[in-house]
Structure 1
Amino acid sequence: MNLSACNVSWSAGGGSILEDVSLDVVAGEFLGIVGPNGSGKTSLMSLLAGLRRPRSGRVLLDGESVDRLGRKEIAKRIALVEQQAETGERISARQAVELGRTPHLGPLTPWSAVDEAIVDEAIRNVGMAKLAARLWHTLSGGERQRLHIARALAQQPQILLLDEPTNHLDVGHQIGLLHLVRQQQLTAVAALHDLNHAAMFCDRVALMSGGRIAALGRPCEVLTEERIRTVFGVDVDVEHQGEGRCHIRYRAPGCPRGERPMLKRIS
């Protein structure tokens, strides 16, 4: 299943957020979208999910405009994990994950043992089985984020969209979650803050700047020292690791290339 943004633009508050963005998501790939705050990552994710209509251009799902598809039809094929998605309802962790089965239910397709098994597997995959009975409002931000991922997996989409999915997670769960996404048999697009996460897990990276795509390609092709300096305003050393991968080492302001900053002793 292919997802494409074709020359899409979008505005809010009288200002342009996205301008003439085109992007083809290849079936089966893990695509990372990176860029500074305000570069348009979240807005692009919303357009790809069909939550917003572009000011101009089109978003196509297998060649069909998402504007012509109903929400339930889109939800059967695309799952979105947003940065902040809360509920005031007194539901359990398991019930929150069960909501992922909603697009597949109807008068002729009631809840079944198959749905139960799908939810069980999704909860196990994110390491939340022991907390499944806990009420939502008693869980930490990180635990809720893991359940959002489980809800999306229970939806059984062909395309998984994640908007900064590692927010509120400690480093171990950040790595584990992205590894889990990588192992799924589906197409994934994730807006990420951590450039090393993008370099480690993504097949391709789209670098956004000022509402446009500044570069698109394998991590080692996109995340160059010059581009990172230009777009993020920081100096880095980039170590290439083969198969298109790389590792980024950040330099403190004024620190020469290849040197580590000296820490001043406080007496």
Structure 2
Amino acid sequence: MSLKAETVSWSAGGRLIVDAVDLEVMPQEFLGIIGPNGSGKTSLISLLAGIRPPKSGIVSLEGHPLAKSTRRDIAQRIALVEQQAETTERITARQAVELGRTPHLGALSPWSGRDTDIVARALDHVGMSDFADRMWHTLSGGERQRLHIARALAQQPQILLLDEPTNHLDIHHQIGLLELVRGQPLTVVAALHDLNHAAVFCDRIAVMDRGRIVALGTPTEILTEERILAVFGVAATVEHDEDGSCFVRYRRPRPKLHLISDTMKRHDHAR
């Protein structure tokens, strides 16, 4: 299932946050969105999810504008895992995941054994089956994040949108979660901070800077030393393996000469 943004813009507080973005997500691909803080990644994810209506332009699903679809229709096809999605309700881990079944329930389709099985599989996928009866407020940030992923999987979407999904997770669970998502028969769009995660798991990468997509392509096309320096202001070496993959190795910034001089002066004065 394809998802497309056509000249999409969105602003807040009089400032343009997403600026005339054109982007087509291909069926079954894992598309990563990278960029510095404030570049518009989260806002673009929200627009693609239909949470926010664009100021201008169109977001469409299989050629049908999201603006003409109901929230229920969208939720049956698109699942969103946000950065900060919390609840003050006293619910268990299992009940949090059960919320993913809401778009599929109704007067003519009440909760059934099939829904129970779907929730159980989702909990198992993220390694949280043993936590199913724990209360939400007793769980760590990483455990809650894994449950958000489980809730999205229980939703049985065709498109999964993730906004920095590895936040609060240790490195083992970061890799495990992205590998899990990569293995699903889904179209995936994920805003990612870690460039090496993008290199390993993404089919294509879109680079955002100041609200615009400034580059789009495969990881090896996108993750170049010149682009990393231009967009992130970080010096890096990009290593390429024989299998076509790449790895970003960051370099320590060189101390500024005036800082070294000031430090030496203070040291001499102390003597």
Give the TM-score of the pair, scaled to structure 2: 0.93
Aligned-pair CA distance for 1:243: 5.3
In the other structure, the counterpart of 1:62 is: 62
Q: Secondary structure at the match of 1:230?
A: helix
In the other structure, the counterpart of 2:140 is: 140
In the other structure, the counterpart of 2:100 is: 100
In the other structure, the counterpart of 1:40 is: 40
Change (3 A) 1:63 1:242: farther
In the other structure, the counterpart of 1:49 is: 49
Q: Secondary structure at the match of 1:85?
A: coil
1:41-85 Cα shifts (integer Å, max 9, x gaps): 000000000000111100010001000000000000000000011
In the other structure, the counterpart of 2:125 is: 125
Aligned residue runs from structure 1 range 91-240, under 5 A: 91-240=91-240
Contact 1:218 1:245 in 2 (8 A): no
Q: Secondary structure at the match of 1:42?
A: helix
Output the aligned Cα RMSD: 0.9
Identity %: 69
Note if 1:74 corresponds to 2:74: yes
Q: Secondary structure at the match of 1:98?
A: helix
Aligned-pair CA distance for 1:30: 0.4
Q: Distance in 2 between matches of 1:219 and 1:254?
A: 27
As a proportion of its length, which structure holds more helix?
A: 2
Q: Distance in 1 between matches of 2:119 and 2:142?
A: 19
For residue 231 of structure 1, what is the amino acid of its counterpart? V
Aligned-pair CA distance for 1:242: 4.8
1:170-201 Cα shifts (integer Å, max 9, x gaps): 00000000000000001000000000000000
1:95-128 Cα shifts (integer Å, max 9, x gaps): 0000000000001111011001100000000000
1:143-179 Cα shifts (integer Å, max 9, x gaps): 0000000000000000000000000000000000000
Structure 1 consecutive aligned stretches of length 4 or more whose deviation exceeds 3 Å:
none
Give the TM-score of the pair, scaled to structure 1: 0.94
Contact 1:128 1:147 in 2 (8 A): yes
For residue 101 of structure 2, what is the amino acid of its counterpart? R
Q: Distance in 1 between matches of 2:181 and 2:8?
A: 27
Q: Secondary structure at the match of 1:121?
A: helix
For residue 136 of structure 1, what is the amino acid of its counterpart? W
In the other structure, the counterpart of 1:245 is: 245
Contact 1:218 1:244 in 2 (8 A): no
